Amino acid sequence: MRQLVGVVGFRGYSGAELVKILAAHRRVEPVLLEHGQDGDDPRPFRLPKGLLKIPCRPELVAEHSLAAVFLATPPEVSMELTRPLLETGAKVIDLSGAFRLRTAERYAHWYKEQHTDAGLLAEAVYGLPEFYREQIRGARLISNPGCYPTAANLAIRPLIRSGLLDRSRGLICDAKSGVSGAGRKPSLKTSFCEVTENFSLYSILNHRHVPEVLLNSGLEEEEFSFTAHLLPVDRGILETIYCRTSVGKTTEDLLSAYRQEYAAEPFIRIYPQGHMPDLLSVAHTNFCDIGVTVAPASGRVVVASAIDNLVKGAAGQAIQNMNLCMGFAETEGLL
Amino acid sequence: MRQLVGVVGFRGYSGAELVKILAAHRRVEPVLLEHGQDGDDPRPFRLPKGLLKIPCRPELVAEHSLAAVFLATPPEVSMELTRPLLETGAKVIDLSGAFRLRTAERYAHWYKEQHTDAGLLAEAVYGLPEFYREQIRGARLISNPGCYPTAANLAIRPLIRSGLLDRSRGLICDAKSGVSGAGRKPSLKTSFCEVTENFSLYSILNHRHVPEVLLNSGLEEEEFSFTAHLLPVDRGILETIYCRTSVGKTTEDLLSAYRQEYAAEPFIRIYPQGHMPDLLSVAHTNFCDIGVTVAPASGRVVVASAIDNLVKGAAGQAIQNMNLCMGFAETEGLL
Amino acid sequence: MRQLVGVVGFRGYSGAELVKILAAHRRVEPVLLEHGQDGDDPRPFRLPKGLLKIPCRPELVAEHSLAAVFLATPPEVSMELTRPLLETGAKVIDLSGAFRLRTAERYAHWYKEQHTDAGLLAEAVYGLPEFYREQIRGARLISNPGCYPTAANLAIRPLIRSGLLDRSRGLICDAKSGVSGAGRKPSLKTSFCEVTENFSLYSILNHRHVPEVLLNSGLEEEEFSFTAHLLPVDRGILETIYCRTSVGKTTEDLLSAYRQEYAAEPFIRIYPQGHMPDLLSVAHTNFCDIGVTVAPASGRVVVASAIDNLVKGAAGQAIQNMNLCMGFAETEGLL
Amino acid sequence: MRQLVGVVGFRGYSGAELVKILAAHRRVEPVLLEHGQDGDDPRPFRLPKGLLKIPCRPELVAEHSLAAVFLATPPEVSMELTRPLLETGAKVIDLSGAFRLRTAERYAHWYKEQHTDAGLLAEAVYGLPEFYREQIRGARLISNPGCYPTAANLAIRPLIRSGLLDRSRGLICDAKSGVSGAGRKPSLKTSFCEVTENFSLYSILNHRHVPEVLLNSGLEEEEFSFTAHLLPVDRGILETIYCRTSVGKTTEDLLSAYRQEYAAEPFIRIYPQGHMPDLLSVAHTNFCDIGVTVAPASGRVVVASAIDNLVKGAAGQAIQNMNLCMGFAETEGLL
């Protein structure tokens, strides 16, 4: 008998991906939770048929004994819904940025609005299983990481922990994302004719995902530069990271550090020397693929980190978190 | 000394294409006519620099002695602006559907709104130069054809005039268009993630462009079926036309009819036997490319007709019309 | 304990899709069968890790007791490998066109080469489960259908069986396919720069898939016209079918016939009135989605049929066939 | 009367672009020079009609008095053809890498083959008009720059000449290119299905274009890191450049330096503060668009430089060079 879990925002790209993965999960069954009205879907078979659909109201969530609720909603909606949903006894896994930073001040700075439930910030666990697995297991409220920070944090922390990063030289992350990362709401910037055959920069040096990397990777603010770009693809993130190691260190030295750090991780794949990840390798998977190239004579390092922004960067990681906090096998439904 | 011509709707795709072509035209110089407010353009160099920009008001149009005004606007705006602009003495070339049909009743039926200046319908000349060159030369108000009807009319009429079409069997037009044909206003249907890696049908058997084909090609309503599809490309239309000729007729027989019909036309290219047009062949050009394949044993005929929807299907043809009605060489600025 | 099944041609697009689906199948485990040398894959994680890879030799196939072998190979390779593989006791599911036609003459006509093992043509069962489920269950050699014929046959046969098709008017199939249907071998026609922002026709009125439709749909040669087009997408086929029904029949009448025909089918989805399938609805699924629009006043009918060419059009259907002939649940691994 | 100029390699992407631009040039007329046999073009109207086509033999080049010959050929072909063509009296503008480096040793190192006419290296003028205009005017042999170095050199040199670059921190160029930069020869890497919905790195830290930047920008080897990426677009290059300036310097300070450096340049556009170039802004133009963002508190600088790789990165710049060395207006045929 599968436990019921709810999805708010199931019409968006992350929400629909959640529903699709959950529908094939052997331990849970998704329930569609209607909130607000964003109209019907033009594709009659976009979501699986036969799922329960109910209004997103705490009493109904309680009545149906939902074990967990995923919020694939804007941060202002997540801030409003989280507390009443927690009070039903459900775990809450929030895919917005509402609970990723640790203080109301930082939230207000980066998200340009007041936090309306700052009391929950201290409790929220940052849902990056490779870093915080134990805390996630016991969490009631999980803040699912942003897509860019997922690829960045996983690529950066081993460099720091292994001592292989020359911290005096800083680290630059040139990040490229597919369009689904911008959500499903129509806008000129994400219109087909503005994106196809195009490529552009945005949020140069001041993307709101920067503090998530600083909080979790071990880098200091003055060490980290981040710029985002929009790729003419539906899904996928590739980040090219530039930094330095000691002169004489080899590609193999750095790969060893990565392999050691992630030896037990089911969703991290370290590439063999001479290979670098690309978007198609991770599309529709929960993997984060990492490759490294070093120029030993200069100590130059290029690290490439690739994920599917809707899976490891959103829905897949959220389900990985659900698996952990509900006691299922971590990879259930994700391989 | 170049004459001034105005462009209303210069931020849209057809309007921007008009400005781009006109800026390189040796006989005229474009003036940007502001109407309504659709905000500034995110790309600072999207339109050529140094052009005059003035509000679209009849007194200013008169004051600047604009010789012609192009309306790259929705039909309701075109119906409102045309008469006052004509009264300034300017020619008006309207790219909307406002003046393409001949009666207010048919307009109301297909465009789902009342015509607000039906008095001009009788005067408007349908701007397909290959069919109506002489009328266009003398016209004051030119109704620029729709993109789909341009490719269809040019492909269909020679079949009828040559007597090679078996009219008892009907004619089916399976039309495919790039996304820029839907205009620049953001919508879910034209969002990148809904279009890339996708392909879909719309306006099945009841597209509003159907009456334009019936009025100009020589086909009767009961002979003509039309269905539109959305291609994941920025620009281009390809129409695949299915019909029958007499058993025994060859590809070369039909090609001869086309070559004869269009021998003097600068913008029609008939393909050699064994070749069919594609979108890249016509992209960024004012050509309509036509190819034919016949199966002599059955009389089956496939005709393919390709244009760039923003050029021969909109801005380029509008400038071809301007060249005619202002007495310039027909190909000026277009080759 | 999962049974072993082999895949020849695992580096091609259909072959890689087979391996991916089989790797998640609960009853079988794929073995990679090397045949010829087409070099290594640039993406180290393109295929699942940890699979057995052995040369494709009958004695090794026998030694490993492979229960079935999938041939994702060109027809000349399939003709060469099938008999020796059958002699090992393995079922053979061939994805090429080698065994789809019923005589060596027709094969030679359409495939422009002599059949080298015509003795097997009589035994081969055409693997379209919706039509030949019982024969497939007992088959030793299954000829997996072509991608275009799958979408066409499923859309056409209900029109004939229900008597709703006006057979005097013929039926036209305007078919559009993604590029993966052309296979992985590099060629100018499938180069990125020749395909992106393009759309083109090919195999006009004489595609080698035509006889497969005639053999299985119930249509006669003189009733059927077929033309293929290349879409700038990776995967997906959409066929737009034009025909006539009796004047007065409605969309709902035809939809009822489809729903009745396919009521028990797990992989056919009939669209509600007013909706038509698109490529994204079927991408990465084994569904064939069908929609219908009728103009009752004229009897005009438009049917749209969509599949993922690599799944229902190739690997997915092959696994559906394997499920049937090996006695598994038909949907195993495919939902 | 237009002078004749030849194009070798007119079937490739750069060659076809050359022919297209030259066909509309008022001072010259292109002649197609056949060399080797790469088969006919599947698109009958891909190149303009009516052009003279002759074998690429020196005596024919002399007989037709070609004033200049463009070589859109691989470097080994350029090395073979250049000297005999120069001896006819024609100017030679070579688009390959054959004459971009200054010694045979460096050529052998980066191009992995011996230089077969090193005697010409000293004479060849590097055809970047913004840096070497006067030398180009008097040149007989012009080595047209690589696409990546064009965007890089134009973006980097003002930083150095203005003294605004903190040279102790180095400069990183993250470069992204469309697929046409790889040429027209089919390969798996440039097949549609491998590129669409994908994004990948290549030539990490060791691209053969690096020495061209070092030779011309003013940067030293130890200051410069370069990595290339393949975008799923037909044409366009965008390079994102990361470096540092003095703390306290503003975006406006750097923009001023660029504006001053390029005040008289017809093909360089400096973006206003708050805007950055994208590919669509430069597509089908000879412009190099440059934008800058500075974080004054840290001195971080991001420069974005965009060109159309087939125009300013190849054919357009080659014609700009021809205009200079033949005494035409520099912008002739290019605006």
| Nearest chain B CA: its distance from C73 CA (Å) | 26
Query: Taking 80 as the threshold, does the pLDDT of residue D178 lie above it?
Result: yes
Please report the DSSP string for C177-235 in residue order: E-GGGG-SS--GGGBHHHHTT--EEESTTT-TTHHHHHHHHS--GGGEEEEEEE-SSSS
- Distance (Å, rounded) from C-alpha A223 to C-alpha A172? 8
Residues in chain D: 335
Report CB contact under 8 Å: A269, C45: yes
Report CB contact under 8 Å: D180, C193: yes
Run means of pLDDT, 10 residues per run, chain C, 335 residues: 95 97 97 85 92 97 98 98 98 98 96 97 98 98 98 98 97 98 95 98 95 97 97 98 98 98 98 98 98 97 98 98 98 96
CB A278 within 8 A of CB D199: yes
CB count in 10 Å sphere of residue C263: 9
Return the SS3 of A227.
strand
CB D255 within 8 A of CB D277: no
In chain C, which residue's Cα lies nearest the Cα of D231? C192
Please report the DSSP string for D211-253 in residue order: HHHHHHHS--GGGEEEEEEE-SSSS-EEEEEEEE--TT--HHH
The pLDDT value given to residue B38: 65
| Nearest partner of A144 among A209, A188, A200, A202, judged by Cα | A209
**Which positions ≥6 away from B326 have C-beta within 8 Å?**
B3, B27, B28, B67, B68, B91
In chain C, which residue's Cα lies nearest the Cα of B282? C198
In chain D, which residue's Cα lies nearest the Cα of A225? D300
**Which positions ≥6 away from A149 have C-beta within 8 Å?**
A209, A212, A213, A216
Domains of chain A: 3-144+314-325 (3.40.50.720), 147-307 (3.30.360.10)
pTM: 0.97
Report CB contact under 8 Å: D189, C233: no
Residues of C labelled as active-site residues: 147
- Distance (Å, rounded) from C-alpha C62 to C-alpha A15? 47
Report CB contact under 8 Å: C44, A271: yes
For the sheet containing B300-307, what is the strand order? B200-202, B224-230, B171-177, B237-244, B300-307, B288-295, B268-270
Active site includes B147? yes
Return the SS3 of B14.
helix
Residues of A with CB under 8 A from a CB of D: 169-170, 172, 174, 176, 178, 194, 196-201, 204-206, 222, 225, 227, 229, 231-236, 238, 240, 242, 276, 278-280, 283, 293, 295, 298, 300, 302, 304
Which residue among B44, B196, B272 sits closest to D272, beta carbon to beta carbon?
B44
Percentage of chain D beyond pLDDT 90 is 98
- Distance (Å, rounded) from C-alpha D220 to C-alpha A273? 28
Chain A residue numbers with beta carbons less than 8 Å from the beta carbon of C272 are: 44
Report CB contact under 8 Å: D222, A176: no
Per-residue pLDDT band for A42 (boundaries 50, 70, 90) equals confident
The pLDDT value given to residue C38: 65
Task: Say which amino acid occupies C106.
Answer: R
pLDDT tens per residue, range B162-173: 999 999 999 999
Report CB contact under 8 Å: A199, D304: no
Chain D residue numbers with beta carbons less than 8 Å from the beta carbon of B305 are: none
**Which positions ≥6 away from B56 have C-beta within 8 Å?**
B6, B8, B33, B34, B35, B81
Report CB contact under 8 Å: C275, A44: yes
CB D140 within 8 A of CB D82: no
The pLDDT value given to residue A320: 98
CB C28 within 8 A of CB D174: no
Per-residue b/e over A227-239, b at no fewer than 16 CB within 10 Å? bbbbbbbbbbbbb
- Distance (Å, rounded) from C-alpha C308 to C-alpha B84? 54
List the single range of A181-195, B306-320, C28-42, C53-67 with lowest mean pLDDT. C28-42
The pLDDT value given to residue D38: 64
Q: What mean pLDDT is predicted for residues A124-130?
A: 98
For the question of an ipTM over 0.90, the answer is yes
Q: What six digits make up the tokens of C8?
A: 């020849």
Tokens 């060596």, residue? C104
| Nearest chain A CA: its distance from B23 CA (Å) | 22
Tell how strand D268-270 and strand D237-244 pair up: unpaired
- Distance (Å, rounded) from C-alpha B113 to C-alpha B259? 41
The pLDDT value given to residue A38: 65
Is residue B122 packed enough to be buried (19+ CB in 10 Å), middle (13-18) or exposed (0-12)? exposed
Residues of C with CB under 8 A from a CB of A: 24, 42-46, 196-197, 269, 271-272, 275, 277-278, 280-281, 284, 287, 289, 335
Q: What mean pLDDT is predicted for residues D119-145?
A: 98
Which residue among C42, C187, C234 sits closest to D186, beta carbon to beta carbon?
C187
Catalytic residue among A147, A173, A243, A288: A147
Query: Taking 90 as the threshold, does the pLDDT of residue B44 lie above it?
Result: yes
pLDDT tens per residue, range D85-107: 999 999 999 999 999 999 999 99
Tokens 């991780």, residue? A265
Tell how strand C125-126 and strand C141-143 pair up: parallel
Query: Taking 80 as the threshold, does the pLDDT of residue A260 lie above it?
Result: yes
Per-residue b/e over C112-125, b at no fewer than 16 CB within 10 Å? eeebbebebbeebb
- Distance (Å, rounded) from C-alpha B19 to C-alpha B32? 8
| Nearest chain C CA: its distance from D15 CA (Å) | 15
- Distance (Å, rounded) from C-alpha B313 to C-alpha B177? 11
In chain D, which residue's Cα lies nearest the Cα of A228? D240
**Which positions ≥6 away from D193 have C-beta within 8 Å?**
C13, C179, C180, C184, C190, C234
